[in-house]
Amino acid sequence: MPSLTEEIQSFPRSRLRRQCTRVTSLSGRRIIETWRGSTVTVVEDQSPPGSNMGYIPDTSWDLQIGRIKPFLLLGSQDAAHDFGTLKKYKVSHILNVAYGIENVFPLLFIYKNVQILDQPDTELTAHLKECCHFIKQAQEENGVVLVHCNTGVSRAAAVVIGYLMSCDGQPFEEALSSVKTARPACCLNPGFLEQLQRYRQP
């Protein structure tokens, strides 16, 4: 019986099917790369956006805010970048726990950046003390703090749950339920869930 390597080497080139690769650059330029002989031919992709993705991208803004407490809100970067939403909810402080997301109103709000990667092996609990301190600062200053990451479903939600456990003394299940009720889209990565289940305030 021939080995896989032998089968590949004996496979006739005439039976190979032509393939093309569709590429979207960081600038949004869409191109098609096609092999012809030993060279690559590059042409502009004229097909409608999303027609080759296999899904329909959701480009609408997520401005849904979860009100955890009168002074504590949970949302996405869209909410944090929409001045009308921030004004509507009387936000004064913004806790940004995303990675690489800018603060767009630095002169209008009090910001705190704690960059957290949304990876199961990220040590979430190592950041909770710093985050809780900022949330308590907002409360003491009679302000309203919005906690956000990119989509407001994993990192920001995990930080808010950690705050409820640490500063309110809520057990994990109660804190998780409170956050999911306020923002149903919440879906923490499994690593964060496991860390919070084991979390005890230092």
Domain extent listing, the chain: 19-54, 66-198
Token pair 């809520």: residue:
170
* Cα separations in angstroms, 80 against 42, 61, 149, 153: 39, 11, 9, 14
Detail the DSSP E strand segments found in the chain: 20-24, 30-36, 39-44, 66-69, 72-75, 93-96, 110-113, 145-148
The span from the CA of 140 to the CA of 142, in Å, is 5
Q: Given CA atoms 159, 161, 165, 171 in this order, what sign does their dihedral have?
A: negative
CATH number of 66-198: 3.90.190.10
Q: Which residues fall within 8 angstroms of residue 145, CB to CB, at 6 or more apart?
A: 71, 72, 73, 91, 92, 93, 94, 95, 134, 135, 138, 139
- The SS3 call for residue 92 is coil
The span from the CA of 52 to the CA of 59, in Å, is 16
Residue 58 pLDDT: 54
Residue 126 pLDDT: 93
Does this model's pTM top 0.75? My answer is: no
Structure tokens at 90: 């009387």
Residue 54 pLDDT: 46
Residue 117 pLDDT: 93
Residue 1 pLDDT: 67
Residue 37 pLDDT: 55
- The SS3 call for residue 167 is helix
Regions of the chain with pLDDT less than 70: 1-9, 11, 13-59, 201-202
Residue 49 pLDDT: 54
Residue 199 pLDDT: 87
Residue 99 pLDDT: 87
Backbone angles phi, psi at 103, to 5 degrees: -95, 115
Contact 95, 147 (CB under 8 A): yes
Residue 55 pLDDT: 45
The span from the CA of 140 to the CA of 35, in Å, is 64
The secondary element (H helix, E strand) that includes residue 168 is none
Q: Which residues are catalytic?
A: 149
The span from the CA of 93 to the CA of 80, in Å, is 10
Q: Which tens digits make up the pLDDT trace of 172-196?
A: 999 999 999 999 999 999 999 999 9
